[in-house]
Chains A and B, each alone.
Chain A
Amino acid sequence: MDFSWGYLFQGFATALSLQNIFWALLGCFIGTLVGVLPGIGPVSGIAILLPLTTVLPPTSAIIMMAAIYYGAMYGGSTTAIVVNIPGEASSVPTAMDGYEMAKQGKAGPALAISAIASFVAGTISVIALTFFAPMLANFAVVFGPPEYFALMFMGLSLVISLSGRALLKGIISMAIGLGAALIGQDPLTGSARLTFGFVKLLGGVDFISVIVGLFAISEVMINVEQRIAAISKLDISNWMPTWSDIKRCSWTMLRCTGVGFLLGLLPGCAPSVTTFVAYDLEKRVSKHPEQFGKGAIEGVAAPEGANNATSTAGFVPLFSFGLPTAPSMAVLLGGLMMYGLQPGPMLFKTNPDFVWAVIASMYIGNVMLLVLNLPLVGMWARIVRIPFYILGPLIIFCSVVGTYSIRFQAYDVWVMLLFGVIGYFMRKLGFPVAPMVLASVLAQMLETAMGQSLLISQGSPLIFFTRPISAVFMALAILSIGWGIWVQVRAKTLTAAVEDEEY
């Protein structure tokens, strides 16, 4: 199960089949589109499409989903640079220098360098993923249910403590996600839980309804309330960066890849965090820190590169542990489970053809995105100009179609509507959304792992602390929560507690 070139080449052979190239290309296209359009991001994009892709074979479907994800990371920068509306939270630092460059008439080079930085960082990260993931998976084969429970527990507590200083709100958000996932029949005993006598609720709450509601519907609500009509008329004719621009950014790209990738391995370090870290680092090491914020090209390359490095790094814990580190990874995990693939170390053993095809497709996808983005930058910038009164209803249409096709019942769409409203209030009141998403996807795995562990230990919860690996994870989880509480206690004023709400 170690890395072998044979597997990788076989993966390339699968990924390069005409059919899979088509799905990857479609994924890259949809991803860029989803990233470019305000009001819809990679998470809702993947979640909406997931139920519809059940007609595809699993490899093609996941290749397309992964392409949507990293495609959206490319696309998010376009709106940030051209109209100063960051399509995703992770593109906020890009907007700082990118929009300045655009105002100085250098929108083309800014867009191009962001595509190039994304390509460089994305490709290096896929190489790291290729060698890293099987190594970690090798380590994880010895994991039993207690280790898995401890790992997921650690993942959740890291996401909570890293999701800003609003620790209490993070826990509440997680608990609601967990509670929503528990509604319905208990998988083990079949007894009805939290259904309050409603027969409909026996079917449970599907995580896709939760995610589409939280991300797509609440985003549309925020947008119609602001009545966004913002559409720019920047002229992008000259889009080629000069060689000196690229040379100037070459070290930047390498640094941000390192930062983005390493931080991206941790649960909770979403691209929205690492892009800020990378931007800050570049500013510190730069010889001209005063140019940052005024249109420094490194200020565009750094966050964009880090963005792609982080999103690729997220696949390492997903493939080797089955642990999602961010909402988008949680949706992909849900997708894997929908296809009956058990994510985790055994995936490399039981479905090597699948894993390696998906990894190989990422190399291809990065090239596709560069090709798709460089010459088509003008087209993407024009798409940004679609006014929201057209876009908003269309996003809702896609959300309805996506959630309806989970089970072809209106019930799932009603659940989506409910979570749209919940998501709206969460954004307004500064509750982080990520813990809720992760909890709703992980709930069942958590409960199963705990049940099996207690069966091994004949009911003693000490099993999580007596086995060395799970003890380390539990200790880290407790440490991260303790650290969160400590920060919370120190933050006496509300200002500090809510300032980091941005997710």
Chain B
Amino acid sequence: MVSQKVHLSRAERDCASTSSLPRAQEDSEYSEAEVRTQRTADIAVGCFITLLGIFIVLASTTIQGGAAHRLPPQTFPMVVGFLLFLCGIALAVKSWRLRGTDLAIKWPDREGFLTILVTLASLAGYIALMNPLGLPLASFVYIAFSTWYLKRSKWPTAILIGLITGIISYVLFIRLLALSFPEGSLFGG
């Protein structure tokens, strides 16, 4: 969330660091992170947004329906598409023409990226397992796995918290609140 100011000259790049938040950010392990600048990122994002805008404008032309004297259903999507298209171009061009101080983006290091990927993949697995396994069992598997993954040494804690979450989700959401979550075959659902 907080950007470090990094000057473009190599010599300055290593030493400059201004953080607007106190200690919390300074402690994080970013030193190994590759420095990709805000400028290149903005150019790339600008191009992507431009394409997205074109895509939405094209998609809006296929929308059907509407009656006389009424706001046609195409108008709002069309406006969104044009806005994205124009702002995307503007962002890319503005960043392209930029001179002077640039900013570094704090990307995570390799390990950080891996952690994020596994976190997302396990969340995806959780969602995918929700219907076949049911909420209690899927929650147990998910919580136990990701807690263990984030702190390998604490596997007994991971299993315990997974169990508690699974049981609470069954008792609270399925039994007490009677919400229509998938129960899974384990509980005879």
Contacts and interface: CB of A to CB of B under 8 A. Distances in A.
B180 to A, nearest CB: 5
A128 B139 CA distance: 45
A389 B70 contact: no
B3 A404 contact: no
Interface string B14-52: 000000111110011100000000110110010001000
A222 B30 CA distance: 12
A450 B71 contact: yes
B70 A454 contact: yes
Contacts of B128: 410
A86 B150 contact: no
A400 to B, nearest CB: 6
B127 A413 contact: yes
Contact of A179 (B38, B84, B142, B151): B84
Interface stretch (A26-34, A189-197, A294-302): A189-197
Given A179-B84, A389-B151, A397-B139, A429 B56 contact: no
Contacts, number: 214
B179 interface: yes
Question: Interface size for chain A: under 10, 10 to 19, 20 to 34, or 35 or more residues?
Answer: 35 or more
Contact of B38 (A225, A404, A492, A494): A494
Given A405-B179, A410-B130, A191 B73 contact: yes
A142 interface: no
A179 B70 CA distance: 20
A371 interface: no
B116 A393 contact: no
Contact of A494 (B39, B80, B142): B39
A430 B41 CA distance: 10
A84 B177 CA distance: 38
B143 A393 contact: yes
B98 A428 contact: no
Contacts of A192: 63
A86 B151 contact: no
Contact of A172 (B20, B27, B88): B88
A363 interface: no
Nearest to A177: B80
Given A194-B77, A397-B165, A493-B101, A430 B3 contact: yes
Nearest to A84: B23
Contacts of A396: 119, 123, 126, 142, 146
B188 interface: no
A387 B3 contact: no
Which applies to chain B's interface (DSSP): helix, strand, loop or mixed? helix
Contacts of A171: 83, 87
A501 B147 contact: no
B138 to A, nearest CB: 9
A494 B101 contact: yes
A85 B2 CA distance: 14
Given A189-B66, A194-B60, A400 B126 contact: yes
Nearest to A407: B180
A451 B88 contact: no
Nearest to A496: B101
Contacts of B169: 397, 401
Interface in A276-295: none
Interface string A426-437: 011110000000
A394 B66 CA distance: 46
A455 B76 contact: no
Contact of A400 (B2, B5, B127): B127
Nearest to B97: A492
A191 B61 CA distance: 12
A413 B130 CA distance: 10
Interface string A129-171: 0000000000000000000000000000000000000001101
A227 B115 contact: yes
Given A220-B119, A226-B29, A428 B107 contact: yes
Closest 3 CB pairs of A and B: A191-B65, A389-B150, A451-B71
10 contacts: A95-B22, A172-B87, A189-B65, A224-B119, A392-B119, A397-B139, A400-B123, A401-B135, A450-B71, A492-B100
Interface of B: 1-3, 5, 20-24, 27-29, 38-39, 41-42, 45, 49, 56, 59-60, 63-67, 69-71, 73, 76-77, 80-81, 83-84, 87-88, 90-91, 94-95, 98-103, 105-108, 112-113, 115-116, 119-120, 123-124, 126-128, 130-131, 135, 139, 142-143, 146-147, 150-151, 154, 157, 161, 165, 169, 173, 177, 179-181
